[in-house]
Structure 1
């Protein structure tokens, strides 16, 4: 129960600044709805009472209106509603929270903060209490630097005690800056902070206190106070606690996972505290980067203690990848959903983007082994986008690995398809030297990715585990990504994380908050206000919830439980139309990466059974975007299987395909024809001739002519790599002869030339069909030119008479050699024999046999 109350308070603090901004319902309208709700409740018509109370909540009453409602109902009725349990209790609790919490003003003026600290230290009892209240509610941790001089004073005992009291009242808000101030060299100040932290009951300082007890340079009196504080905080002795490096790791994980107890209690305060130049300083940071920055600090603290600590390295790697992926996700979300960051956050975002780019680059230095360590940890931490990035880098760095790590196999079998896809890509990039058990699984996963058509993400917020899991399975069967949250507060936290979901489906009966309050929270945050919401309601209550949410634009419909799978799928798809995300582009990118991964597999590999992917690659070439078709063509070319030629031929002959794709296709076909010794049918030769004669539409692209030339060259190469009949070969070279006839033929125009070409083609075909004595008996030019045995075959000649016997051939060769030898002897002369008279005398006999020789 305490956790539930904290969660609601957490959410309330976050959204209170927005309540009055969105509340546009008049007091009279709110009170009228309140009177109707109370009347229904007193009559025992709880269903209508709940409907009216939820209507009030969806109107987003401000604190003044909620207070009037509370007074209208009276304390007795409100307490009775709270005791009812169920939806009535949740509604009453939400109304009370609205009534009791006005928007909190955040004080940031340094002069005002200093004045309040002085007042808390030196003022009268009334003045001190007033100052402490304001420090607690409006200032928070910004007051701590002004408090430190009083804590360090050995002479101002009264003032020091007053500040200790003020800091204790501030509680959680003061823990982070006080913990950072433990780095002071002032021993007395360090003692006071250690004692104070022990009384605050906050676990965020446990690792730092344990580190003091382990540090040999820590003075004994400080160690003693640290041990006592640790006992108060943990109910354990210092020696019974894990090592400080392990505690820092656990602290970092809590921050990384955005545990509610580790987030700031004043939500306008997203501050990074550092002890620099013997003073406590802070920097305002974007709220979305807070958890990663704090986790990074914790990881470095652990590694300062032990540079070989694998968990510390694994955490640091996750943090760096998280920083990069979150910035990227914010950019995508801003583009997809037309989000506008507040001005101050926009400036922080631009600064943080530079840092995230550096983090991405630096992450490459972790190396393969540490990346594997971080992968093991990431798979348990619920950040699939981080796991995916780590897998990508593992694939890039793992090419020299001899085995596939077990963590990769686990990722390959993940329920999250995005992780499966990334794992499969990494495995084929590693390309181990030998077969392993799940090699075919990797190819099958890439085939799954190649057919990806919907990359949208849906969040299901439902208390009941069985109901939540059933709906998640239905969504996953729709080839979408689904996540689950078991409470409303967890669901809100997940929805506001980046990347945001495309749809949130929330139960109408949450345990920790009213669903209407959940919906309001979605509507009031810039990160979630454009995410469509659907309500899960029991069968038979569909009309009631449609009526309740009919004026709420983000609520698109309801899903009834128990779920009818087909009806549920239809309803979800209908309302996903309102999602503005570029899911088609994301799906296309997934398929492109899968095709590129398949194309990465070396030709003739003995590890992966690429035949599994051939049909999917062929289908991609026929139907998908050029960005997918290009790597798919490269993959089929590399595999070189004759069964893939149909899809390639269809693409080549389709003049609606781009020149670039057709050029690649021609190259792939030529490679496969040559490798498999495939004979090209005459009808295909005719089609290729037509393609070469196509008049392609002119474009403004300056390189268009070069693209056309490359396309034609690819077709000529294809023809040269293929086996053809002599008639087809002759037809090609006749039609594309370099020097054509002139005169009359030219005057007849292109039609006459085409007629002659057709006549010649007919003659060529007749010659091809002459029978067994044809000079092209095998209908194959490649046999005549490529094989030495074929060149010596009798079948390549008209009759045996035309073929000289081996003896004759040797005799001829001998005579020729003798002739050449005599010829050289006769022509040889020395320089001394050369005279001008001889030259003149022989000039008239230049045509003699000797001179010709």
Structure 2
């Protein structure tokens, strides 16, 4: 603490010089926090720093704060550990993003590169390199890269290579793409720089070059550089791992500061940046890693599976962005190519990707892969069967629908597990789902138990990182509750990540805290604040709304499961007994989009046990004519297959003399026509209809 305190006075002065881009309140809170920490008043200092983040510090503001602060101060705060470390990391991360937003200034970069080339002063070179790195990062690479191809100017080439080496790891993705050049001299020098940087993300491609480049100089450079980057010697395994790590957004390849708004391509014009929505950055980087893996070994099923997985997720995200009103113009061609690549990858690759999703609990991706497989598979696959046996309801239901389609198309019987899963999906009431991210286990479970009393299913996470992983994987979240302290991330980081994630951008977020000042600070960024388990009234607005997003998807799955059972019933090969109770259970309260397909299935496979709930639909004047007609048709199907007893004939007969529509009466009459009745019962029925 001594070193930190000795520098805090300097920090106060520097903070006061921050540019007007920083809001006055945030600057004031930051300075107050610094002063309090200098005096050892840690709790009060932490509260001030929390206010800085709670005010939603922008990237530009964080960058200005970071620029105006002695770097050693943040280093010392990082060494302090705990929530001071979290605060420092958050400001630094936001600052890096702020820096990225002003990176692509061609004139400024050219001026700095020219200044670098012109000076021989070592200290001046270091200053220029720091500025290139801090202000322009990866966007400076194309301008320095040209020097690496100049064989006639050794001094400038070495200077440029040293500059790239001394810049941050932002330079690694564009340098990896530059390895696609046809110029072996440039390829060699890029390989050398990547080795000097030593970033593990380059190990796979460098290992591939070391094992297959036609130029001996490139092979030698790539071999040594691959070792410096931690290569295992297996290029295929390294590239496949990179692809999987990018898909799961693991910190080994993608820290929060590694996200970019561009990817890089090598073409006729050299190294060029291509804008890309940040939401699909990890998926695009995953696709590229798997593509490199396939160049190493064209028959790699894992490579094909990885590309299919990356493409199908990217396509879904682009569709979601477009539906949310985001501008995705210019990406239509990529979306089309992704769609083609998914099917072209083939059933075996898609199935392997599905097995990965089942094994990792990646429900959102698994559902997409199952739907793709449903259009291609002609026999039950290992992935579909694994999904059917999984504990994830969404994957299990989608797999059942897909396997039912396979059975129907092939004229085969669907197995009992498929029928049971279809029945469960058709009959499932759509429950509300909440996520609680809180390191206070007692408080979290107290709130969770209270929510459970309202019929809400609750997922728990004790850390910010595991909580964010959970919300990426659990589809259909209705609400996220964030505790006021976590051991690994700040409240600001968690809330920002939730809002920035496409799937949860519109999900209500509630802060769980009894700290009134903290609640007030975050009031503009959350839907509401909950103090404890006794204070859940604010959530009523969430659970009173209709179904949207993934909830609507689940309701649609119920409809499709009912329809699949109807098709199987019509084909006549499958025993639907395990699903009949669930189908009947949909009739009382589910919408027509679910109950009508269920009634069709019951008409083809139902029995005596389902007659009473079906009659209840026929005779309910509040139900739609479409549902009542479907119910009457279901009765007609059951009455035609088997003799039944105990039928509420009187209510059916009364309907024929009621003010129900003629279409409903006609359908009911046809059902009664198949019912085993005595001649006297039929005479009384006709006389009740024809009263004159």
TM range (shorter): 0.7 to 0.9
Name the residue aligned to 1:596.
563
**1:279-294 equivalence runs, <5 A:** 279-294=270-285
Give, in whole Å, the separation in 2 of the partners of 1:280 and 1:613: 58
Q: 1:33 to 1:667 in 2, by over 3 A?
A: same
Give, in whole Å, the separation in 2 of the partners of 1:440 and 1:545: 57
Deviation of 1:395 after TM superposition, in Å, equals 3.7
Q: 1:149 to 1:546 in 2, by over 3 A?
A: closer
Structure number with bigger Rg: 1
Name the residue aligned to 1:639.
605
Q: Does structure 1 retain, via aligned residues, the 8 Å contact 2:170–2:258? A: no
Q: 1:625 to 1:110 in 2, by over 3 A?
A: same
Structure 1 counterpart of 2:183, from 181, 186, 202 = 186
Matched, 1:228 2:236: no
What are the superposed Cα offsets for residues 620-662 of structure 1, whole Å, 9 maximum, x if unpaired? 1221111011111011111131221212212112222222222
Give, in whole Å, the separation in 2 of the partners of 1:589 and 1:166: 56
**1:202-281 equivalence runs, <5 A:** 202-215=199-212, 218-234=214-230, 241-242=233-234, 244-263=235-254, 269-277=260-268, 279-281=270-272
Name the residue aligned to 1:168.
165
Q: 1:182 to 1:329 in 2, by over 3 A?
A: same
Return the TM-score normalized by structure 2. Answer: 0.81
SS in 1 for 2:271: strand
What are the superposed Cα offsets for residues 145-197 of structure 1, whole Å, 9 maximum, x if unpaired? 23333111111111111111111122422222222222222221121111111
Q: 1:588 to 1:261 in 2, by over 3 A?
A: same
Deviation of 1:595 after TM superposition, in Å, equals 2.0
Q: Does structure 2 retain, via aligned residues, the 8 Å contact 1:256–1:292? A: yes
Matched, 1:421 2:412: no
Q: 1:95 to 1:408 in 2, by over 3 A?
A: closer
Q: Does structure 2 retain, via aligned residues, the 8 Å contact 1:180–1:274? A: yes
Name the residue aligned to 2:643.
677
SS in 2 for 1:148: helix
Give, in whole Å, the separation in 1 of the partners of 2:419 and 2:558: 13
CA RMSD of aligned residues (A): 4.5
Deviation of 1:318 after TM superposition, in Å, equals 1.0
**1:81-480 equivalence runs, <5 A:** 85-87=81-83, 90=86, 106-125=102-121, 128-215=125-212, 218-234=214-230, 241-242=233-234, 244-263=235-254, 269-277=260-268, 279-330=270-321, 334=324, 341=326, 346=327, 349-352=328-331, 355-356=334-335, 359-360=338-339, 362-381=341-360, 383-401=362-380, 405=382, 407-431=383-407, 440-454=416-430, 456-462=432-438
Q: Does structure 2 retain, via aligned residues, the 8 Å contact 1:546–1:558? A: no
With 517-526 and 193-202 compared, the bigger mean Cα shift is at 517-526
Name the residue aligned to 2:528.
556
Matched, 1:503 2:494: no
Give the total of aligned pairs. 665
Q: Does structure 2 retain, via aligned residues, the 8 Å contact 1:51–1:548? A: no
Q: Does structure 2 retain, via aligned residues, the 8 Å contact 1:458–1:502? A: yes
Give, in whole Å, the separation in 2 of the partners of 1:225 and 1:557: 57
What are the superposed Cα offsets for residues 477-525 of structure 1, whole Å, 9 maximum, x if unpaired? 9776666666435655776899785433334332234435644676799
Deviation of 1:526 after TM superposition, in Å, equals 9.4
Give, in whole Å, the separation in 2 of the partners of 1:612 and 1:648: 18
Give, in whole Å, the separation in 1 of the partners of 2:535 and 2:387: 27
Q: Does structure 1 retain, via aligned residues, the 8 Å contact 2:243–2:285? A: yes
Deviation of 1:441 after TM superposition, in Å, equals 4.7
Q: Does structure 2 retain, via aligned residues, the 8 Å contact 1:443–1:612? A: yes
Q: Does structure 2 retain, via aligned residues, the 8 Å contact 1:645–1:669? A: yes
Give, in whole Å, the separation in 2 of the partners of 1:353 and 1:600: 36
Give, in whole Å, the separation in 2 of the partners of 1:524 and 1:307: 36
Give, in whole Å, the separation in 2 of the partners of 1:644 and 1:384: 33
SS in 1 for 2:266: strand
SS in 1 for 2:172: helix
Q: Does structure 2 retain, via aligned residues, the 8 Å contact 1:150–1:159? A: yes
Name the residue aligned to 1:25.
25
Give, in whole Å, the separation in 2 of the partners of 1:453 and 1:214: 56
Matched, 1:721 2:677: no
Q: 1:319 to 1:38 in 2, by over 3 A?
A: closer
Give, in whole Å, the separation in 2 of the partners of 1:369 and 1:524: 34
Give, in whole Å, the separation in 2 of the partners of 1:192 and 1:49: 49
What are the superposed Cα offsets for residues 715-742 of structure 1, whole Å, 9 maximum, x if unpaired? 4432433333334545666788xxxxxx
Q: Does structure 1 retain, via aligned residues, the 8 Å contact 2:99–2:134? A: no
Return the TM-score normalized by structure 1. Answer: 0.67
Q: 1:278 to 1:24 in 2, by over 3 A?
A: closer
Deviation of 1:207 after TM superposition, in Å, equals 1.7
Give, in whole Å, the separation in 2 of the partners of 1:254 and 1:144: 25
Give, in whole Å, the separation in 2 of the partners of 1:175 and 1:99: 20
Matched, 1:582 2:582: no
Q: Does structure 1 retain, via aligned residues, the 8 Å contact 2:93–2:257? A: no
SS in 2 for 1:258: coil
SS in 1 for 2:263: strand
Q: Does structure 1 retain, via aligned residues, the 8 Å contact 2:656–2:665? A: no
Give, in whole Å, the separation in 2 of the partners of 1:373 and 1:550: 44
SS in 2 for 1:621: coil
What are the superposed Cα offsets for residues 307-336 of structure 1, whole Å, 9 maximum, x if unpaired? 32111121122112212332344456x3xx
Q: 1:94 to 1:142 in 2, by over 3 A?
A: closer
Give, in whole Å, the separation in 2 of the partners of 1:310 and 1:621: 45
Give, in whole Å, the separation in 1 of the partners of 2:47 and 2:141: 47
What are the superposed Cα offsets for residues 771-814 of structure 1, whole Å, 9 maximum, x if unpaired? xxxxxxxxxxxxxxxxxxxxxxxxxxxxxxxxxxxxxxxxxxxx
Give, in whole Å, the separation in 2 of the partners of 1:516 and 1:252: 29
SS in 1 for 2:179: helix
Name the residue aligned to 2:7.
none
